[in-house]
Structures are given as structure tokens and as C-alpha cells.
Chain A
Amino acid sequence: GEDVEQSLFLSVREGDSSVINCTYTDSSSTYLYWYKQEPGAGLQLLTYIFSNMDMKQDQRLTVLLNKKDKHLSLRIADTQTGDSAIYFCAETLYGNNRLAFGKGNQVVVIP
């Protein structure tokens, strides 16, 4: 079954890069996602990567996928105060319509 693990807290200075990591256990993942949750708001899809890709870049966001180690990371370049939020990785499995989420990683950006 799916199990997605994340570390819990990251503090970063404005302008620096932040890297958030996630590991997953099920090798039949099809898509892997990063969601952002700001206080009082819903889960906002930031980006996703198909499981046969190694990397995806979207403006300040870079997703790296190491399928051998089942490791997913999100790098945010030039972190801004508006990036302060909880970031969740999630996966879907082949033949399955549900998202399996990690516990989330809180990112605090210090001005």
C-alpha cells in the first residue's frame, strides 16, 4: 500500500532556496504531486510529475524524482514570504483514483 513520508519543519531566509523532501514506498505510483496550504485556505496544486520523468521545472519550482530511491523533492528558488505555508507531497497509484498524502512540511520564510 501507499505510504508517503515527509519531514516536518523548515525555516529559510527570504531570497534563499528551500528544498522539501518526501519519500514514498509504492513503486506503482503514476503521478506525484506537490500541494501548498496557506493558513485558512484549501490545498493548492503547485506542480506534479509523471513517474517516468526525473525532473520538472516550472518557474521557481523544480521537482526532482529519484524513482530508484523513491524520493521526491521540491526546490523553491528565491523563496519569498508568500511561500510560507505547509507543503504536502502526494501520489496516485496505477489503477487508483485517490491521492495519498504525506503529513506535510511547514516552511517558514524569514524576512
Chain B
Amino acid sequence: EPEVTQTPSHQVTQMGQEVILRCVPISNHLYFYWYRQILGQKVEFLVSFYNNEISEKSEIFDDQFSVERPDGSNFTLKIRSTKLEDSAMYFCASSVGTLSSYTFGSGTRLTVV
């Protein structure tokens, strides 16, 4: 069964450093997403991406965040200057188009120290 692959599974970074979280969506999917879950809190929407541009973003997705699809297979989330409160599990997802066909990756646990 096709999978969404995320790397790394766990990343530790120092406050103020830039991090890039990587995702390989399912190859025939057209919509890509990032969500995050701070420990003990809800899974929160960050951003959706379609046709090489952001289609929707939440209030969490401020200027510190950016997304890119650099080569037609990877989908990345960059955090420019990490803060302690960015520590969370970050989930990538992709879909053909309808919401019932979302497929999530296993997540990257980001720890900012």
C-alpha cells in the first residue's frame, strides 16, 4: 500500500536554528499538507499546498514557516529560527483531492532545546 514517508523520525535542534522536515507524498497525489501536534494537545492544521503554491494556511503558519516542493517528489517544511514552543510532532499528509483520501505520514518529532 502506498505510504507517505517522513524523515527524520526524530530531530533535536537548538533554539534559533533552522530545521527542514522532509516528506515524500504518494506519487499520484496532488494536495499536500502539514499538521502538528504539541504534546498533550490537538493535532493542528498548518498549511495546504496545491499546484506549487500554498492554498490555505492557519494562523500558526507565520513568517517563520515555509513549504516547498523542490523536485516534484519531496515536500518540505522549513522553520527558519526555531523556538522552544515549536517542539511538536509534525505530520505530513497528501491526498488525491477529496478529504476522505488523506494519507498521513508517521510524523517527525521535533525537539527544540
Residues of B close to A102: CB separation below 8 A: 42
Minimum CB–CB distance for A90 against chain B, Å: 8
> Is B65 close to A, CB under 8 A?
no
Residues of A close to B41: CB separation below 8 A: 103
Given contacts A42-B104, A43-B43, A45-B100, contact A98 B56 (CB under 8 A): yes
Contact A97 B43 (CB under 8 A): no
A contacts with B, residue count (CB < 8 A): 23
Which residues A61-111 have CB closer than 8 A to chain B?
Answer: 88, 90, 92, 96-104
**Beta-carbon nearest neighbor of A44 in chain B:** B104
Contact A97 B56 (CB under 8 A): yes
The 5 closest A-B pairs by CB, nearest first: A42-B104, A101-B43, A43-B104, A98-B45, A42-B106
Contact B99 A92 (CB under 8 A): yes
Give the A-B pair count, Cβ closer than 8 A: 54
Tell me, in angstroms, the Cα distance from A42 to B24 when the chains sit together. Answer: 14
B contacts with A, residue count (CB < 8 A): 23
Tell me, in angstroms, the Cα distance from A108 to B101 when the chains sit together. Answer: 27
Contact B45 A43 (CB under 8 A): no
Residues of A close to B66: CB separation below 8 A: none
Residues of B close to A99: CB separation below 8 A: 35, 43, 45, 99, 102
Point out the residue from B99, B105, B106 that lies within 8 Å of A97, measured CB to CB.
B99
Minimum CB–CB distance for A97 against chain B, Å: 5
Minimum CB–CB distance for A110 against chain B, Å: 24
Residues of A close to B91: CB separation below 8 A: 42-43
Tell me, in angstroms, the Cα distance from A3 to B99 when the chains sit together. Answer: 18
> Is B14 close to A, CB under 8 A?
no
Contact B106 A40 (CB under 8 A): yes
Mark each residue of chain A from 39 to 58: 1 if its CB lies under 8 Å from any CB of chain B, else 0: 01111110010000000000
Residues of A close to B45: CB separation below 8 A: 98-100
Residues of A close to B4: CB separation below 8 A: 42
Residues of B close to A90: CB separation below 8 A: 43
Minimum CB–CB distance for B98 against chain A, Å: 9
Tell me, in angstroms, the Cα distance from A99 to B98 when the chains sit together. Answer: 12
